[in-house]
Amino acid sequence: MPCNISYSRTVEPGLGYRTSYSHRGKYYTLAETPQFDKDGLWSCRSVWFSAYGNLIQTAEEFVGQSSAGLTASELQALLHVDAKQALLHLVREKRISREKLGTSYVYMAYQKCRRKNQQLRRLDLQGELAVATSPLRETLSQELNAAIVLFYSLLDEQQRRLYAGLESFKLGHGGDRKIAKCLGLDVHTVARGRRELFGGQVEWEGVRSRGAGRPAVEKKRQR
């Protein structure tokens, strides 16, 4: 449907209009015209409107609802406008907070509990990014796989199955398939080993041959 917006110089307050949050609020449209997306935003001919109001109100809403806070550049990408001044205004009025995490300033909710959750999630994301971009990641993965295969080759049949089940459990979702591929096993064998190990179904007989191991203390003392 065509969008109808006008320059807001002639708009009088209280007449059922929405003012743009972009272009310094210079444009307006009828309140029922915008078809807001899931983020509460709508644009017409590169003019942006928000279900939350002006730029300051919209920035406050986006920061407060974000799972890990937002940097100024992240918010700009979401709103399609520069929001630095709006963010600083909100910080001065203690409506949001600003935290330096790593090398970036991150804007977060002012409420302590919500801000703490955002901080923890932001740190998690930074940790995941560091691992994903590490040049050693692929090398370490290859070395780990080689060590697993070597250790696996030294075990008997039951121990191999149980070990495969243990490594699968440590990997979590999809572990059976990954370990089966790594060790050249059937995925059902890995699943069986995991069930036996954590279900208390390990068969102890035959794991160590009769008489193997260190002699009993009493026998060692006999002359």
Element (H, E) at 107: strand 104-109
Joined together, the tokens standing for residue 36 give 């807001």
Domains of the chain: 6-114 (1.10.10.10), 137-198 (no CATH)
The CA R_g of the chain, rounded to the nearest whole Å, is 31
pLDDT at 129: 56
- Return the number of other C-beta atoms located less than 10 Å from residue 137's C-beta: 12
The label of the residue with tokens 């002639």 reads 10
Joined together, the tokens standing for residue 5 give 């917006």
Q: Structure pTM?
A: 0.56
> Residues of the chain whose pLDDT is less than 70?
1-2, 7-15, 127-143, 203-223
Contacts of 193 (CB under 8 A, 6+ apart): 160, 161, 162, 163, 164, 165, 166, 168
Q: Distance between CA 175 and CA 198 in Å, rounded?
A: 15
Amino acid identity for residue 137 in this structure:
R
Torsions phi, psi for 18 (to 5 deg): -115, 135
